[in-house]
Structure 1
Amino acid sequence: MNESGQSTAPRVAGDHQERAVEVVLTGGPAALPASIQLDSAVDAEKIKIQHYGGYEHFERDIDHADDGRVRVYRWVGRTKIAE
């Protein structure tokens, strides 16, 4: 979620590839990709990815400086989707 409480689920870059940044995901389920593309306008401290009936939660890893094109997020946990 971003600062206003809205979801910041990552979107795969398509037509907006020039605005995309690479996001490296560390930890989490092995079935998730090691990196994804995220719109550069999304500058969230936390992201969540829908995965197998739940959400995988990642937080920005401040120990890894980004160069504006690559961001590192580390896995912090999983929640189930409410029914």
Structure 2
Amino acid sequence: MIEISFELNGQKVDPKTMGGGLQKAMLTTIREALGERVGQVECEHHHRQPHILCKGPSVVELSMEVCGCCDQIIDAVETRLQ
């Protein structure tokens, strides 16, 4: 599975370690949806998986950054996310 991480208001957060509540549920849902959509993408040349960073001032104002070993893997992930 690809790595998906979150940053809210400049702080790294992990839904697995958050207390209960709406933010945890929303981040968990986002992580599951991204995992289903992107799946087991791996670079054919470098055999590495991409990383998606979801960040913003709040859960409802997130943007996504796709990072990877090369442009091909980044393009592959971005295509699956459209």
TM over 0.5: no
Select the structure of larger CA radius of gyration.
2
More helix, by proportion: 2
